[in-house]
Amino acid sequence: MKIRSQFNLEELNKVMLTKRARLWLGLIAAVSLLSLASSCGGGGNTNTEETTTVKAVPTKDAGTITGKVSFTGTAPAPVKIDTSADNNCAKASPNLTSEEWVIKDGKLANTFVYIKDGTLADGTKIGDYTDPAPSSAVTLDQNGCHYKPHVLGVVVNQNISITNSDQTTHNIHFMPKNNPDWNQSQVAGAPAMTHKLTHAEVLAPVKCNQHPWMKSYVGVMKTRLFAVSGEDGSFTISGVPPGKYTVAAWHEGGATGTEQKVEVTVPANGSATADFSFGASAALRGQPSSLPMMPALEVPMMGRH
Ligand SMILES: [Cu+2]
């Protein structure tokens, strides 16, 4: 009887130990899973905001890159858009025309110009820098049944404020490659919506699911070193640290857009010029790819002022 009870006690101890061990094992497993899940944040779940290490582009002795974007040859004529499918649009914008090629006196608007690559004077690579997202939002307005602006740039994680100035419903649809697809309806008078892209991309197309002619492009950059050419074709990228860079100009024309590159040297506290010229080859939308392409490289024009 005594022996039996002792044996039982031992058994009980064993069972208790096993239970405790199981509890510990369970806890360890839970903690491991939690840490694994947090380290994977932003990878699997595309809605998770990505935590980016900020290492801002240095501003010491910064200079500027300025230039003009031209269109050579016969400018493609703007195409009138039939907005009759939506009475509000027909009323607001009876003379809406395509915005793919906005050319005035041989100068091309809506070209996205950015520093694609390069090395700073201190030997560091521009690709290793990540600017913090500016606290101010960039506005993308649906106005007269087209987007204003037609091309815009943001820093990764910078807010885009989407407004509807029309008396109709729009459905804005971001169709990026490196970021999640996103679309939202916005009725007339609705408050602004906010959206942001967490990965760099040149350029994310935006369209309206209600009005198929509405198109816009958003350049999403790691740094603030970008600009969009204005109606006179000019652009300025300021706050560029001294160094040697590849400046790229992207325009939506062509089957999937056209990009050109120019090499520039920005002196300390000085400026460099990067001029671009798009021509007939970029305007051959949807033409067979066997057609010979015009060389995309330009002769750089550098200057100190
Ligand atoms: Cu719309």
In this prediction, residues 12-18 reach a mean pLDDT of 45
CA of 212 to the centre of ligand 1 (A): 8
pLDDT exceeds cutoff 80 at 226:
yes
CA of 165 to the centre of ligand 1 (A): 11
Confidence of residue 149 (pLDDT cuts 50, 70, 90): very high
Closest CA to 192 of 167, 171, 163: 163
State residue 22's pLDDT score: 54
Q: What are 255-280's pLDDT values in tens digits?
A: 778 999 999 999 999 999 999 999 86
Using alpha carbons, list the distances in angstroms from residue 269 to 72, 113, 235, 239, 243. Answer: 32, 21, 18, 9, 11
pLDDT exceeds cutoff 90 at 70:
yes
Enter the pTM of the model: 0.77
Q: Which residues surround ligand 1, an ion (CB under 5 A)?
A: 170, 208, 210-211, 214
CA of 128 to the centre of ligand 1 (A): 38
CA of 172 to the centre of ligand 1 (A): 7
Q: What are 178-223's pLDDT values in tens digits?
A: 999 999 999 999 999 999 999 999 999 999 999 999 999 999 999 9
Q: Which residue has the higher pLDDT, 76 or 61?
A: 61
State residue 282's pLDDT score: 60
CA of 285 to the centre of ligand 1 (A): 24
CA of 92 to the centre of ligand 1 (A): 12
Q: Provide the residue type at 178 as one letter.
A: N
CA of 176 to the centre of ligand 1 (A): 18
CA of 87 to the centre of ligand 1 (A): 12
CA of 159 to the centre of ligand 1 (A): 21
State residue 182's pLDDT score: 97
> Any idea which of 26-40, 62-76, 249-263 has the lowest mean pLDDT?
26-40
CA of 90 to the centre of ligand 1 (A): 12
In this prediction, residues 291-295 reach a mean pLDDT of 36
CA of 215 to the centre of ligand 1 (A): 9
State residue 283's pLDDT score: 57
Of how many residues is the chain composed?
305
CA of 206 to the centre of ligand 1 (A): 11
Q: What percent of the chain has pLDDT over 70?
A: 74
